[in-house]
Structure 1
Amino acid sequence: MLNFIVTIDGPSSSGKSTLAKRLAKKLSILHIDSGSIYRAVTLYALQNNLLLNGKFLMKKLINILSMSSISLKENSNGIFKMHINNLDVENKIRGSKVSKHVSEIAKHKKIRDFVLKIQRDISKNKSIVMDGRDIGSFVFPDADVKFYIDSSIKTRSIRRFNQLKQFEKKLSIDEVKYDLLSRDKIDKNRKNSPLIIPENSLFINNDNRSIDDVLNIMLDHVKSIINKKVS
């Protein structure tokens, strides 16, 4: 088997992206953060003033996206960065305003179809680790290896707060917790590709485990499955 696909799903700030990056590096394969694509779409909608009275103007957004370029491009260090119309937006997509609205954008079927094409096109003829919220259940239901990573809301809130506090000094941990719970509700209850534990996935709660401990569990699991498939 020349190429294989590893999927990592879980709620926001569960640590899945960090684990996905490190796992891909250990396996010497490509890491794709699918959440960054949804974040880029959300940023683009905000930049084009398509949020009106708390709701996005979806028809206008779909029309603008059809004439725009949203892509992951590899830099000189071999790291893939999110680009909108050839401009690097990797830092901009990580802000709290984008985080607050990304689940609202992601619940729309036409947006998910738009992102799905990008996800599958990037992954053609490659071995990849991709993380997100519907990767093992919908994007790659036949993936070779699947994981579901979870943490308590307390752990996730602290983790997300520590990520954001250097950029947003006035942000409180209670605000972060509220936003995470709101995103969970949308992600788990949306009609199109809700956040679920994918069939045949290995569930890992990382509340009381270090990143290295979880990474070793994941590496052993991947190697076990891949070795069986190639033997």
Structure 2
Amino acid sequence: MGYNVAIDGPAGAGKSTIAKLVAKEKGYIYVDTGAMYRALAVHFLEKGIAAEDTAGIIAAAREAEVSIRYEEGVQQVYLNGENISSRLRTEEVGNMASMTSPIPEVRERLLELQRSLARERDVIMDGRDIGTNILPDADVKVYLTASVETRAKRRYDELTEKGLACDYEEIAKDIRERDERDMNRETAPLRQAEDAVLVDSSDMTIPEVVETIVRLCR
């Protein structure tokens, strides 16, 4: 039986960055569930399906094969045999994933892969409902958050460092809207599990957050 660490929290809270660093520190397998939903979002966008077309989304999800592989210690995400890791972090893909991930059939498509990994290996997973739904018996649960302003500034800095034109207010608006969708969706809404430790990273450095979570683990 694997040792499981679940990190939940809103968009832009730094879950993926922190989870990867904790995984490296502790020797866990990092499973980016958000990347798996984003992989399906790439599939939907490629097929030109609107997020509102639930029937079309469900049909497309059935034919998509999403897999995670580790190549030279780095997680790679494959969609129908193609490595799409470099395409997962665009705003368009993120928004499509946010709008389609609440669909039960989309979630079911990926759920067993996530749980089977957790049964077999020591894993750390981050997402919106890891501790409340996917791994309710996780050994460690963390709810990682930060203020909207902090999250928007981090995203703005990340994009500008890559030379991409962006608007801080638009990013903040997008984050607020995604929070609203994620927290109020019918299926597995974003919320803090009762037994999760709250970590607000608004005024913390990345090493401080990593150290806080590492101390919670065995």
* Shorter-chain TM-score tier: over 0.9
Q: 1:59 aligns with which of 36, 55, 62?
A: 55
Q: Aligned to 1:81, which of 66, 76, 99?
A: 76
Q: Tell me which residue corresponds to 1:23.
A: 22
Residue 199 of structure 1 corresponds to 194
Aligned residue for 1:126? 121
Q: Distance in 1 between matches of 2:54 and 2:90?
A: 21
Contact 1:10 1:148 in 2 (8 A): yes
TM-score between both structures, scaled by the size of structure 2? 0.94
Cα pair 1:39 1:93 within 8 Å, conserved: yes
Partner of 2:48: 49
Give, in whole Å, the separation in 2 of the partners of 1:69 and 1:166.
33
| Alpha-carbon offset, residue 64 of structure 1 | 2.7
Paired residues, number: 218
Question: 1:39 — aligned with what?
Answer: 38
1:22 Cα shift?
0.5
Alignment gaps of 5+ in structure 1:
224-231
Tell me which amino acid in the other structure corresponds to 1:17. S
Task: Determine the structure 1 residue equivalent to 2:13.
Answer: 14
What corresponds to 2:133 in structure 1?
A: 138
What letter is aligned with 1:15? Answer: G
- 1:66 is displaced (CA, Å) by 2.1
Q: What is the DSSP-based 3-state SS (H/G/I as helix, E as strand, rest coil) of the residue aligned with 2:55? A: helix
CA drift at 1:135: 0.0
TM-score, normalisation: structure 1:
0.89
For residues 113 and 81 of structure 1, do their structure 2 counterparts lie closer, same or farther at Cα, with a shift above 3 Å needed? same
Rounded Cα–Cα distance in structure 1 between residues aligned with 2:58 and 2:163: 30
What amino acid does structure 2 have at the position aligned with 1:24? A
Aligned AA (1:61): I
Residues 85-124 of structure 1 mapped to structure 2, 5 A cutoff: 85-124=80-119
d(CA) in 1 for partners of 2:186, 2:77: 27
- In 1: Cα distance, 2:42 partner to 2:158 partner: 18
Structure 1 stretches of at least 4 aligned residues deviating more than 3 Å after TM superposition: 165-168
The 1-side partners of 2:186 and 2:124 are apart by: 26
Q: Which segment is superposed worse, 183-192 or 115-124?
A: 115-124
| % same residue | 28
2:164 and 2:111 map into 1 onto residues whose CA distance is 35
CA contact (8 A) 2:141 2:196 kept: yes
- Whichever residue aligns with residue 73 of structure 1, its letter is R
SS in 2 for 1:73: strand
